[in-house]
Structure 1
Amino acid sequence: MQISICSFSFHRLLAAGKQDIFQYIKDCKELGCTQLDPWNAHLAELNQGEDALHAGANPDQSQHLTAVDDEFLERVKRAADEAGLPFGCIAVDGAHIYEESEEARAGNRQRAYRWIEIAEKLGASHIRIDSGGPQQWTDDVFGIVVEGYQDLIARARKAGIQVIVENHWGPTVDPDNTVQLLEAVPGLGLLLDSWNWAHGKQAQGWLKCAKYATVTHIKTFHFTEDGQELTQNVPSFCKLLQDNGFQGTWGVESVPADGNEIEGARKTIQLIQRSVR
C-alpha cells in the first residue's frame, strides 16, 4: 500500500517552529509513508509562524508563500533521497488560476511556473494548482480557468509532472463544477479530498468524482479510543475509491481537533490500512 501525508497535516507544528521540511521528512519516514506530499508552506520562506496559519485558513490569499531558493531545494532533495522517500504531490496555495484582474492572474501564473520548476527539481510526480474563482463561475471565468490549466499542463508535462485540481475552495466545492472542469481539460487530474464539499454535497461529490481520483486527501478530525473517525465514514470512502479502480497513493490530511498532529496522522494511517482491502 502506498501511503503519504500532506504536510498541511502538520501546519500547527510548522507555525510553532516545531517542524520544518527536514523534520517533516523524518516524521513521514517514522510514520511509514512511501512518499512525500508537501504543502508549499513547508517549502516557503516564512517570516513568522502566523504566515503558515494564515495560508492554511486562507488558501485564496496565500501569495506570500515565497518559494525557497535552489540551494535550499538541493538540501531538501538530498534529505528525501537519504530517507528513501520520493516526492509525490506538491500542494500549492497562492498560485490559483483565476483572479478578477489580469495583473493578479499574471502574478499567480508566474508563481505557478516557479512551483512547477520546484516540483521538477524535487522529482515530484504531481502538483496541485487550484482553479480559483467564485463558487459559481460564468462562461467567461470558466474559459479563463480552462486556458490556465491548459497552459500549466503543457509546461508541467515537459517536466514529467501531472497538474491536478482539488475540490478545495471556490467553484470546485461543487461536484458538478469539478466534473465540468475535468471533462473540459484533457490531462488534468483530480486530488479528491473526502471532506471539502459544499454543505450537503459530500455524498454527491464522492459518487460523481471517485472515478476521476488521481490522488487523495482523506480528512480526519475526531477519533474514538478504538481509532474510529466520527466525522465521516472513511472505510466507505476507501471502498468507493477501490470500487472505481483507484490504485494511487492513499493520502492523509488530518486536522485533529485535539491538536496532536503526529498522532492524528498516525491514527489516520492506521484507519486507512484497516479500511483498504
Structure 2
Amino acid sequence: MSYLSVSTWSLHRLLGPLRWTAWDNAQKKHITKLEQQDNVIDLLDLPTILKEKGFAAFELCHFHFPFTDSLYLQRLKKACTDANMRLYTLLLDYGDLSSTDTQRVDADMELIKEWIDIAAEVGAERVRVVAGDAPADDQDALSRVSQYLHELAVYAGQKGVKIITENFRTLSSTSENCLYIVNQSDEQIRLITDFGNMSGAEKYNELARIIPYSDSIHAKPQYDKDGIPDQDEFRRCLDLLKQAHYDGPIVIIYDGPGDMWEGIERTKKIVEDYL
C-alpha cells in the first residue's frame, strides 16, 4: 500500500536562507536563528511536524542540512526515530557524472561518497544521485554514468544505503535512458519518477514505462498562477500508479506561490484518494 511522503523542497522557503544554525560554544549545542519570516522550521522539529500532519516519510535535500557533523546527524536521526518518521531519501542535487572532465568526475564521486556516509549516519535509506547533464542521445555518457552509479551502489551497499537516480536533467530525461541505467545495474539502481519532469504528447507513456522500476514517486501537479493544481492532469498521472500496482511512497512536491503548507495540503487531498 502506498503512503504519504513529502520532499523538503516543498518547504524550501521555510527551511532555506531565512534561517541559519550555529554552534553555541557556551551552551554546547546548535542554536537555530530565525530571521525575517514567521513559521520558519528548525529541521530537527520537522519529523514531528510531518507526523502530526499525516506523513509517514520524507525526503531531505542535501542543501537543507545546516550541519553534517556527527553530533547534528545523530540528533536528526533521533528526531526521526522519536517521531517514527522514515528518512527515505537524501536528495543530492550536486554532481555531473556524465562530464568528460575526468578530474571533475573523480571529485564528484568523492563528494557523493561523502554524502553516502552522511546518509548512513543520519539513517537515510537511499541517496538520489543525478545522472548528469549530457544530452539524452549521448550513449557514451550513458554508459559511463551507469558504471559510476554501479560503483556507488556497491559502496553504498556496504553502508546499508541504496542508490537511486531520477528522470531529472537531460541524460535521464527519457524512459529509455532511465531503463538502460536500471538494466545495466541488474536493478541495483532504482528510480524516482517525477511527474513534472516529463512533458509533451508522450509524457504518460514515458511515465508508465519507468514507474514499475521506481522506489519513489514525486507527485508534482501542474499548477496555475495561484498554486491550484490541475486535478484532471494530476489524476491521470496518479492513475498510472494504480495501473502499475505501485506501493511505495508518494512524495508531495509543491513549489508554487503562497503558503507552502497550504499548497502541500491541496496536493495531499488529491493524493489521499490513491493510498
Does TM, scored on the shorter chain, surpass 0.5? yes
Answer yes or no: is the 8 Å Cα contact 1:26–1:83 preserved in 2. Answer: yes
Q: How does 1:247-262 map to 2 (within 5 A)?
A: 247-256=247-256, 258-262=257-261
Structure of larger gyration radius: 2
SS of 1:160 mapped into structure 2: coil
79-88 or 23-32, larger mean C-alpha shift: 23-32
Answer yes or no: is the 8 Å Cα contact 1:173–1:198 preserved in 2. Answer: no
**What displacement does 1:262 show?**
1.1
Match of 2:33 in 1: none
**What displacement does 1:44 show?**
4.7
Match of 2:50 in 1: 28
SS of 1:88 mapped into structure 2: strand
Quote the RMSD (CA, aligned, Å).
Answer: 2.3
172-181 or 187-196, larger mean C-alpha shift: 172-181
Q: Would the alpha carbon gap of residues 96 and 119 (structure 1) be closer, same or farther in structure 2, given more than 3 Å must change?
A: farther
Match of 1:163 in 2: 163
Match of 1:87 in 2: 87
Match of 1:123 in 2: 123
SS of 2:252 mapped into structure 1: strand
SS of 1:3 mapped into structure 2: strand
Answer yes or no: is the 8 Å Cα contact 1:189–1:214 preserved in 2. Answer: yes
Q: How does 1:120-269 map to 2 (within 5 A)?
A: 120-186=120-186, 187-197=188-198, 199-220=200-221, 222=223, 229-230=229-230, 233-256=233-256, 258-269=257-268
1:16 to 6, 18, 29: 18
Residue identity in the other structure for 2:219: I
In structure 1, how many angstroms separate the alpha carbons of the residues matched to 2:145 and 2:101? 13
**What displacement does 1:106 show?**
1.0
Which structure shows the higher helix fraction? 1
TM-score by length of 1: 0.83
In structure 1, how many angstroms separate the alpha carbons of the residues matched to 2:51 and 2:224? 23
Residue identity in the other structure for 1:242: K
Aligned length: 252
Q: Would the alpha carbon gap of residues 224 and 104 (structure 1) be closer, same or farther in structure 2, given more than 3 Å must change?
A: closer
In structure 1, how many angstroms separate the alpha carbons of the residues matched to 2:4 and 2:225? 22
SS of 2:220 mapped into structure 1: strand
Match of 2:61 in 1: 39
SS of 1:233 mapped into structure 2: helix
SS of 2:271 mapped into structure 1: helix
In structure 1, how many angstroms separate the alpha carbons of the residues matched to 2:166 and 2:184? 15
Displaced runs of 4 or more, over 3 A = 198-201
Deviation track 1:98-146 (CA, whole Å, cap 9, x = no partner) reads 2231111011111110111111112222211011031224332122101
Q: Would the alpha carbon gap of residues 134 and 183 (structure 1) be closer, same or farther in structure 2, given more than 3 Å must change?
A: same
In structure 2, how many angstroms separate the alpha carbons of the residues matched to 1:97 and 1:228? 36
In structure 2, how many angstroms separate the alpha carbons of the residues matched to 1:203 and 1:241? 11
Deviation track 1:172-208 (CA, whole Å, cap 9, x = no partner) reads 1122222222222221101010110255442232122
**What displacement does 1:28 show?**
1.5
Q: Report sequence identity in percent.
A: 19
SS of 1:97 mapped into structure 2: coil
